[in-house]
Amino acid sequence: MPRERSYLRYQLYRSEARKAASITTRKMLFHEGADFSKVRFEAIDAQAMSAFELWDNPHFSWGDVVTWKTREPLSLDVAIWFEQELCGLCFVIPNNSRQRIRIVRLEGRPGEAHPLKNRIAALAMLAIDEFAQIIGSRLIEVQEPMQGAIPKYRQLAFTFDLDGRLVLAVEGKVL
Amino acid sequence: MKTVQLMISEGKKMRKFVKRAPSKKGSRKADEKLGDLVLSTNQQRFLQVLVDGIDVDEPNVLAGRR
């Protein structure tokens, strides 16, 4: 059953990507008032959905993602936590060839400021870039970037390609 | 590391047996991994943005269509 095998393999990849992102942020410890040792990267699971229910007027219905996850076994879902506070959610799908990985949804917690305000994009990219490297993707693409978020993506080195897509080339580890 | 000395029975003889508490191999390995973590250029940049780049305002909704 190759489908079953790839499902399990990707489950491992997702877990590795989230874990690597957690280790990376934990290494930063405390900086500029943000204690990164308290940042956690988890799956969008029942706990994340319970915390999401408390969000004030969210843009997306993240309950959809729970269904999408089963339909898209190669996808990556990330819930970004600061201690017990759910601060961001992200859903990513690679294309069939896995050469390109698309950020389908990315949202930080709306309403009052949370401890990771203005840092959700960078944190999500840590996990996404790790996942892209694991599965051998060459490009990360923001599928439908919000206009107001373009300066942030540019800061993270995303550029528009000739087809007008907002992309970032995946690079290997620097030893 | 805690060690406990026990007397165990082997047939009619009693033998001294030293039982050691399980070592913390797992956590030591994780610590080493943490120190050895290698980052890509992109990841180094993301970390830099995490530290220095919060002056650029970030909307709550960053990507996606409702």
Q: Would you state the structure tokens that stand for residue B23, as one six-digit string?
A: 């070592």
Instruction: Catalogue all structural domains in chain A, each as residue range(s) with its CATH number.
Output: 2-169 (3.40.630.30)
| Per-residue pLDDT at B65 | 80
The whole-angstrom distance between residue A4's C-alpha and the CA centroid of its chain comes to 24
Confidence (pTM): 0.82
User: Per-block average pLDDT, block size 10, for chain A (175 residues)?
Assistant: 74 95 80 76 96 94 90 94 96 93 96 89 96 95 94 95 96 72
Shortest CA distance from A23: residue in chain B: B34
Using the Cβ of A141 and the Cβ atoms of chain B, whether some distance falls under 8 Å is answered with no
The answer to whether residues A93 and A102 touch, using CB atoms and an 8 Å cutoff, is: yes
C-alpha to C-alpha distance for A40 and A45, rounded to whole angstroms:
13
CB neighbour list of residue A64: distance below 8 Å, 6 or more residues apart: none
Which of A23, A110, A145 lies at the smallest CB-CB distance from B34? A23
Pairing of strands A100-108, A139-142: parallel
- This model of the complex carries an ipTM of 0.87
Find residue A30's DSSP bridge partners. A35
Closest Cα in chain A, distance from residue B27 (Å):
13
